[in-house]
Structure 1
Amino acid sequence: MDVRPSWRGLAGIGTAVLISLPMQHDRDPVPPPSPPPAADPGVEVRGEVSLPPLLAGTFTATVKTWDTTAADERIGHARAAGLLLDAGVRWKSTGDCADRRRPYCTSLEAIRYGTLMRTVDLRRDSGCPVTVTGGTETGHADSRYSHGNGYKVDLAHNRCLDAYVTRTYHYWRTRADGAALYRAAPSDVWADEPTHWDVLFR
């Protein structure tokens, strides 16, 4: 028996083959994104930096809170007292006064800005109560780096401050009047007097 394929059947087979073939695109496939270029070691990269857990929190930054180039500027009592108050530093006098011409007063008139701000730094660095009991008032010894010239302050003794000074600074020598001297820096001297620390900030 002669069996001849039907044209209609062949057309159906061709259609099925075409449908089963994957569709082709004229466009080339999109390549995967390239990795970012390696950083040039000579170029500074700005942005947020995350420290590894073992390093996070192990760095301490020392931040200056005042302009050291203005250290020799002289400031008035009201401004000086305000700066101390803002920093949590007290000042007091036996005469409850601030007249620079009276030795029983505590005056900050014409004190060096650097001397005052070093006192503020001490309060922050030590964490101790700090009370100024002597400033630029008359009655102190005269010298180039004296109270009257704005380089020195008297700070009341207290257990916290005494421990901080003797632990942090180096014993230097004993003064002629018996006061032990400690050096905080090549030019800073703390004298341990009976009722207070006589402090030179240069």
Structure 2
Amino acid sequence: MDVRASWRGLAGIGTAVLISLPMQNNRNPVPPPSPPPAADPGVEVKGEVSLPPLLAGTFVATVKTWDTAAADERIGHARASGLLLDAGVRWKSSGDCDDRHRPSCTSLEAIRYGTLMRTIDLRRASGCPVTVTGGTETGHAGGRYSHGNGYKVDLAHNRCLDEYVRRTYRYWRTRGDGAALYRPPSSDPDPDPDPDQPAGPDAWFAVWADEPTHWDVLFR
């Protein structure tokens, strides 16, 4: 038996399709997701470590210059140790403490900003491991340019640092306790006889005393 489509049935289907099409066209299409905002290629985001209130602004740990006019400003232990750690410089104490009044501790309390930054400069310039083992804690010799006044740090010996110091600085003289002293080359023909107060155009920079377990370093 032949099966023939009913024209009336087909017409009904066509009408339903025609009715449904406008309904689909009238729907609001879902907008595509917005692309993420493009990064500004001229802006580099860097971590910042705040300095004490007496130092204006903030110190960006990745920069290689610092404000020498602020060299004599004093920094607390927490801020100083944070700046060192951010620059890859370690500090440790035999007593595992940071109390400035205990000689077995290593304290950076009231250290000079210049002393701290020159220690960081050393890490960058030498590429060597640098570990501070002595700071402003009691137990060191006194004097104007002393540990207690924030001018000196003790830095642990290691082969890389030892070679860098002896290659970069020149032997100057031997201190009374037998420690060999090194300092930057200087054109001054008559250096100050006091090893803690070197004269000449490089007097502000450094004197390194080679002690048995560490370098006793004066940064001015």
Measured against the shorter chain, the TM-score band is: 0.5 to 0.7
* Residue of structure 2 equivalent to 1:76: 76
What is the DSSP-based 3-state SS (H/G/I as helix, E as strand, rest coil) of the residue aligned with 2:96?
A: coil
* Residue of structure 1 equivalent to 2:108: 108
Matches within 5 A, 1:182-201: 182-184=182-184, 185-187=202-204, 188-201=206-219
1:73-123 deviations in Å (ceiling 9; x for gaps): 000000000000000000000000000000000000000000000000000
* Residue of structure 2 equivalent to 1:132: 132
What is the DSSP-based 3-state SS (H/G/I as helix, E as strand, rest coil) of the residue aligned with 2:150?
A: coil
1:53-81 deviations in Å (ceiling 9; x for gaps): xxxxxxxxxx7421111000000000000
1:96 aligns with 2:96: yes
What is the DSSP-based 3-state SS (H/G/I as helix, E as strand, rest coil) of the residue aligned with 1:191?
A: strand
Structure 2 counterpart of 1:121, which letter?
D
How far apart in 1 are the matches of 2:73 and 2:203?
21
Matches within 5 A, 1:25-174: 64-174=64-174
How many residues of Structure 1 are paired with residues of Structure 2 in the alignment? Answer: 140
Structure 1 counterpart of 2:74, which letter?
R
TM-score, length of structure 2 as denominator length: 0.62
How far apart in 2 are the matches of 1:80 and 1:165?
24
How far apart in 1 are the matches of 2:181 and 2:114?
21
How far apart in 2 are the matches of 1:161 and 1:85?
18
Structure 1 counterpart of 2:126, which letter?
S
Shift of 1:144: 0.2
Runs in 1 of length 4+ with deviation above 2 angstroms?
A: 184-187
Larger gyration radius, structure 1 or structure 2:
1
What is the DSSP-based 3-state SS (H/G/I as helix, E as strand, rest coil) of the residue aligned with 2:132?
A: strand
Which runs of 5 or more residues in structure 2 are unaligned?
Answer: 1-62, 185-201
* Residue of structure 1 equivalent to 2:197: none
RMSD: 1.0
What is the DSSP-based 3-state SS (H/G/I as helix, E as strand, rest coil) of the residue aligned with 1:105?
A: coil
What is the DSSP-based 3-state SS (H/G/I as helix, E as strand, rest coil) of the residue aligned with 1:123?
A: helix
How far apart in 2 are the matches of 1:162 and 1:118?
17
Structure 2 counterpart of 1:159, which letter?
R
What is the DSSP-based 3-state SS (H/G/I as helix, E as strand, rest coil) of the residue aligned with 1:102?
A: coil
Structure 2 counterpart of 1:186, which letter?
A
